[in-house]
Amino acid sequence: MRDSFVAVLTELASQHPELMLLTGDLGFGVLNSYAAGFPRQFLNAGVAEQNMSGLAAGLALEGHCVFTYSIGNFPTLRCLEQIRNDICYHGANVKIVCIGGGMSYGPVGFSHHATEDLSILRSLPGMLVLSPSDLWEAAEATRYLVTHRGPAYLRLDKSAAPVDLRFGESFRPGTIRTVREGSDVTLAATGGILEEALLAADTLSEQGIFCRVLSVHTIKPLDTETLAAAASETGGIISIEEHAVDGGLGGAIAESLMEAGVFPGFFVRMGLRNTFSSVIGSQKYLRTVYSLDAASIYRTVSAKMGFPAEVLS
Amino acid sequence: MNTAMMLDSHVLAKRIRLHALRMTSAGGGSHIGAILSCADILAVLYGGVINVDSKAPESPSRDRFILSKGHAGGGLYAALAERGFFPVEKLQTHYQDGSELSGHVSHKLPGIDVSTGALGHGLSIAAGMAYAGKLREARHRVYCLLSDGECDEGSTWEAALFASHHRLTNLVAIVDYNRIQGIAPVAEVLELEPFADKWISFGWAVREVDGHDHEALQRTLEAAPLAAGKPSCIIAHTTKGKGVSFMENSVLWHYRIPRGAEFDAALVELEARS
């Protein structure tokens, strides 16, 4: 996803001289061609994320469209007050980009896992929160942000679900993509973990259970309409995120459906439950450790639908 | 600066102090000590050093000013009102229900680009604005007024590193160095000395002035950039609560609200100033 993001910025930078990319001294080898091609539109702000975010606000107030770029929690939690006060309160045109959403940087350890970002960032007034699930969504979200005005957060994952587009499909921020039709149960995922939902859906379809699989690439504003339809048209909803269940995708879905007065047959939030991802390992491995892999999704569905899970080899 | 638009800085300073006294008293707002401390700096800036025009508050060629010590918002409101950015009567709404004049400075008002209040934010934003100005080879300056207390914030020094690395000669930081922070003297909380040396070692051109001497302030501000290829830092030695004898150099008057006999006594002293 990171490469898709950089490719789109590189493609659009010359047409958008107001575009600026600020990095917190990360992206070695990744940002080089952009930096070399557009030196006036690139700044390495150093390992100083608070200053980077304040700078971004100042540049944006002077008419630039500024992307800040770093890993995990560095561009978000480290400088949260600058994001809140300097960027959001002023409606500054700053796009905060996190490389390594969820447990992308698995072996590196918990410091580099972004597992509370969605809930924290979406609570900020005026913040658009995008969390693409595949490479097409990542590229299209980036393209959208270049012309969007105002604060936004873009969470990019190392993993990505396979791209499966309908003919002529266009990216619509704020609208959930239904990537698979089904009426038995809804699997709503955000980020690369959508791939686990699709794998689970494949196995479940062999058992005659047909899942509706949703890619929730926009966490805020949340597409309540599509979720409400899923709640009434399918047996229940399972939210899946590489993130704390508190206030993230699952929390947001619960809030919006409760307020809309629509109640799914059942509702399960799959994510981290009051725990740090303290185990290390690949992103795939950590999903098994924290019960967020396809097999865990399968087991959750089987428990809710009342059939034995053992059929899954 | 168009001389016709200048306002005598001593007259302006006196008005800022009187407004600040009334605003903090009527509104029940705090930080009178901090406002009195920087009233002369604001008066010299808005008396004519800063190139701003109330008729075109968002003119691209204007100088930018960020009050990083946002708790002295009342002082900036008073200066802007006196310069015609909004009616002086509006100052009476300071701290009142529904007012745009929040205790900490607000960009809802014409002439104010940035809301602050959380310390250590202003210099980064100013550096971003100065960088943008450099990119388009603009001639305006970016001024940022900081408190000494907010030099405790690491983010202030992140911005200081950045500004010198990128040779932001169009950036002028002014530190209101009254040596008293929130609840205690700077020397007791986190010593900043050798303060000028810190800025020098961060790559800034530094000048120390008496922050209540208008002529010295004006001379120094107009001399910026103080050295080729460097951002400028003016350390203004000030007295917290300046102008009211019992508020001067007092930790108490960082937060205390002037009322009753204290208000009357302060009013007498401030009105007697030339």
* Torsion angle in degrees (nearest 10) through CA of B174, B177, B178, B183: 100
Residue B214 token pair: 């208008």
Which domain does B197 fall in, by range?
3-272
Interface of B with A in 62-101 (CB under 8 A): none
How does pLDDT run along chain B (274 residues), one tens digit per residue? 444 456 899 999 999 999 999 999 998 887 999 999 999 999 999 999 999 999 999 999 999 999 999 999 999 999 999 999 999 999 999 999 999 999 999 999 999 999 999 999 999 999 999 999 999 999 999 999 999 999 999 999 999 999 999 999 999 999 999 999 999 999 999 999 999 999 999 999 999 999 999 999 999 999 999 999 999 999 999 999 999 999 999 999 988 999 999 999 999 999 998 7
Say which of B121, B132, B158 has its CB closest to residue A86. B121
Q: Give the confidence band of A311 by pLDDT, cuts at 50, 70, 90.
A: low
* Domain spans, chain A: 2-156, 177-306
Edge-to-edge order in the sheet of strand B205-210: B64-67, B142-147, B171-177, B232-237, B205-210
pLDDT tens sequence across A228-275? 999 999 999 999 999 999 999 999 999 999 999 999 999 999 999 999
What DSSP designation does A84 have? I
Q: Using one digit for the tens of pLDDT, what is the confidence trace for A79-125?
A: 999 999 999 999 999 999 999 999 999 999 999 999 999 999 999 99
Read off the tokens for B148.
């000494």
Q: What would the two tokens of residue B66 be?
A: 């960020």
Nearest residue of chain B to residue A87 (CA atoms)? B125
Rounded distance, CA B11 to CA B18, Å?
11
Size of interface A-B (CB pairs under 8 A): 86
Paired with A220 in beta bridges are A129
CATH class label, A2-156: alpha beta
Q: How far is A62 from chain B (nearest CA, A)?
A: 6
Residue type, B93: T
- A58 and B123 within 8 Å at the Cβ level: the answer is no
Q: Closest to A57 (Cβ–Cβ): which among B120, B125, B158? A: B125
Task: Classify A29 in phi/psi space as left (phi over 0), alpha (psi -120 to 50) or beta.
Answer: left
Nearest to A48 among B115, B118, B158 (CB): B158
Q: Would you state the structure tokens that stand for residue B51, as one six-digit string? A: 């190139």
Write down the ipTM of this complex: 0.95
Question: Domain holding B106: CATH number?
Answer: 3.40.50.970
Taking the Cβ of residue B137 and every Cβ of chain A, the question of whether any pair is shorter than 8 Å is answered with no
Neighbours of B191 (CB within 10 A): 10
pTM: 0.96
* A58/B126 Cβ within 8 A: yes
Q: Do domains A2-156 and A177-306 have the same CATH topology?
A: yes
pLDDT the model gives residue B3: 45
Q: DSSP alpha helices (H): ranges in chain A? A: 2-12, 32-37, 49-61, 80-81, 117-122, 135-147, 194-206, 224-233, 249-260, 283-289, 294-305
Interface test with B, best of A22, A62, A80, A81 (most B CBs within 10 A): A62
- CB of B31 within 8 A of CB of B183? no
The average confidence (pLDDT) of chain A is 96
By the 8 A CB rule, do A102 and A128 touch?
Answer: no
B115 touches chain A (CB under 8 A): yes
* C-alpha distance from B257 to closest chain A C-alpha (Å): 27
Taking contacts as CB-CB distances below 8 angstroms, the residues of chain A near B163 are none
Looking at the predicted structure, is the pLDDT value of residue A309 above 90? no
Q: CB distance A50–B128 less than 8 Å?
A: no
Strand partners, A145: none
- Looking at residue B274, its pLDDT comes to 74
CB contact under 8 A, A61 and B162: no
A82 touches chain B (CB under 8 A): yes
As a whole number of Å, the CA-based R_g of chain A is 19
**What percent of chain A has a predicted confidence (pLDDT) above 70?**
98
Looking at 3.30.479.10, 3.40.470.10, 3.40.50.920, 3.90.1720.10, the CATH number of the domain A177-306 comes to: 3.40.50.920
E strand or H helix at B67, and its extent? strand B64-67
- B209 DSSP assignment: E
Q: Which residues of B touch A56 (CB under 8 A)?
A: 128
Q: How far is B127 from chain A (nearest CA, A)?
A: 6
User: Is the N-terminal amide bond of A221 cis, ω within 30° of 0?
Assistant: yes
State the average pLDDT over residues A47-59.
Answer: 98
B97: CB partners within 8 A, 6+ apart:
none
C-alpha to C-alpha distance for B43 and B76, rounded to whole angstroms: 9
**Between chains, do A63 and B133 touch, taking CB under 8 Å as contact?**
no
Q: Rounded to 5 degrees, what are φ and ψ at A95?
A: -110, 120
Give bridge partners of residue B237 from the DSSP assignment.
Answer: B177, B210
Q: Does residue A14 register a pLDDT over 80?
A: yes
The kind and range of the H/E element at A155 are strand A152-156
Q: With an 8 Å Cβ cutoff, is B44 touching chain A?
A: no
Residue B108 contacts A where some CB pair is shorter than 8 Å: no
- From residue A106, alpha-carbon distances to A72, B36, B133 in Å are 11, 54, 41
Give the whole-angstrom CA distance, residue B116 versus residue B124: 12
Q: Are B209 and B235 in contact (CB under 8 A)?
A: yes
Whether the CB-CB separation of A271 and A243 falls below 8 Å is answered with: yes
Distance from CA of B198 to the nearest CA of A (A): 18
Taking CA atoms, A70 is separated from A86, A241, B158, in Å, by 18, 21, 17
Between A163 and B1, the higher pLDDT residue: A163
CA pair distance A6, A132, nearest whole angstrom: 15
pLDDT at B37: 98
